[in-house]
Amino acid sequence: MLNSSIFREYDIRGLVDTQLDEKTVKLIGYHLGKLIYEKYKENSFVAIGYDARIHCKELFLYLVSGLNKANCKVLNMGMVTTGVNYFSNYQKFVIKDKEISPYASIMITGSHNPKQYNGFKITLDKKPFFANDIYKLRDEIISNQDIVIEDNLNTFNIDVKSLYIDYIVEHFQHLKGLKNSFVVDCGNGVANTVLETILQRLELNYKILFAQPDGNFPNHHPDPCIETNLNALKEELKDEYNLGFAYDGDADRLILLTKRYLVRGDTMAILFAKNMENPTIVGEVKCSQIMYDKINEHGKAIMYKAGHSNLKMKLKEVDADLAVEVSGHIFFNDRFFGFDDGIYATFRVLELIKKGLDINKEIESLPKTFSTEEIEIKTTDKEKFLLIEKIKQLLKNPTKDFPKILDIIEIDGLRIVFEKGWALVRASNTTPILVTRFESIDEKFVKIYDEKIKNLIRVAKDEINSITN
């Protein structure tokens, strides 16, 4: 029985074997392939790559069989980063003496999730395939599960990695021989399928950690947003190295470290903006207010929904230079293609260093704020959106001891603006949780905001339960 929960807002993701089994993956390939073939007929070329997880090749074969059943032609790029996968959509390849470009790409990846998970990030016509498109695909599959899909493993091999490496080396020739030393932590993900070759060709002064792709992730979990996963990198920064870069499992996210600071996506956006003339930058609703304020001093900052697919679409819609998520998804539309790529972002950071930017000094010049990480509160998929609506109602008449509200931004959940900071409460689009985050110029108010919002959530839950019971 197909498990419909694998169809998420931004991708398809689940446990291998129990949720992503042979039948399910073949059906995904077939029904997605039908959609592609209906539009592009004989030009229905689909480029597929995968990360280092131990079950990727197996899922690849199932997916290929489904796509072939739908008369698509599969281009096999092998093990690559998600950035290389996206890059394939902008390239041309010769297949049977004919020059073609892929109409679609699929990345088989579990990203930063535990090793038993895997999934598919899909791009159609250079745009993310997400939200309603994914849900329509789910409904089509559920209604048509009985088709028999035989094994058909025909593919055409393409070398996207070499094209990508050449592109990065060509566009960052000005970094050649940069003396500043740095460390990169690949986390046994796929970053090093391209990274070290680029570093060597640019003659840079680096050290590489956990370079070998290994889907068991023997050294640490592949999520650089969790600080304990950065311990080895931090140890290296105690000695001769001044800068560190860390990637998630498929290398579409980047976290930057100096000897003093862990630099997340919204702070990196401030640094990148200094190297752009009158920039337009899109940030998610979780980004620091400092980012919006600093960028608005010499450009334009736009707040938008969380989620890499949402930000990619908004970036193109407003023709922004850059978009960022706090978690390290960084989308360059300035001199690049507008997709998130941790490897490419690494060289844009090194470019700032080459131009003399002192990252520590820049961060120390920013107004001091205190903030929490994302705090997750368990609920249910049915209840989470009801809670947001109930909290919205409660905020119309808050209790007397509730901090003074200046504004409520409803772009994605509720970002409640106070005199000394803000609080965020939003429903996750992918899991049955509420996500909260708090920031203030006064540390004590972070705790106050946290306490008041948690109490508000409890009241909202009680009111919902009293109605349903």
User: What is the residue type of 109?
Assistant: T
Q: Which of 8, 13, 112, 308 is catalytic?
A: 13
Asked whether this chain's domains 162-364 and 370-468 adopt the same fold, the reply is no
In this prediction, the residues of the chain whose per-residue pLDDT falls under 70 are: 1, 468-469
Closest CA to 413 of 441, 398, 433, 399: 433
> In the CATH scheme, what architecture does the domain 4-158 have?
3-Layer(aba) Sandwich (3.40)
Q: Which of 8, 264, 329, 415 is catalytic?
A: 329
Q: Which of 44, 65, 105, 111 is catalytic?
A: 111
pLDDT value of residue 2? 85
Three-state SS at 298: coil
Q: Where in the chain are the domains?
A: 4-158, 162-364, 370-468
In this structure, how many other beta carbons lie within 10 angstroms of the beta carbon of residue 447? Answer: 14
pLDDT value of residue 430? 80
Three-state SS at 412: coil
Burial 67-98 (b: 16+ CB within 10 A, else e): bbbbebbbbbbbbbbbbbbbbbbebebeeeee
**Both structure tokens of 449:** 């905001």
DSSP letter, residue 426: E
**Both structure tokens of 12:** 């398809």
DSSP letter, residue 24: H
Compute and round to an integer the Cα radius of gyration of the chain: 23
Q: What is the fold of 370-468?
A: TATA-Binding Protein (3.30.310)
Pairing verdict, β 300-304 and 93-95: unpaired
pLDDT value of residue 469? 60
- Which H or E element spans position 124? strand 117-124
Q: How far apart are CA 9 and CA 383, in angstroms?
A: 17
**Both structure tokens of 393:** 């109602």
13 a catalytic residue:
yes
Q: How distant is the alpha carbon of residue 159 from its chain centre?
A: 24
User: What is the residue type of 107?
Assistant: M
Domain 162-364 CATH class label:
alpha beta
Q: Tens digits of per-residue pLDDT, 193-251?
A: 999 999 999 999 999 999 999 999 999 999 999 999 999 999 999 988 999 999 999 99
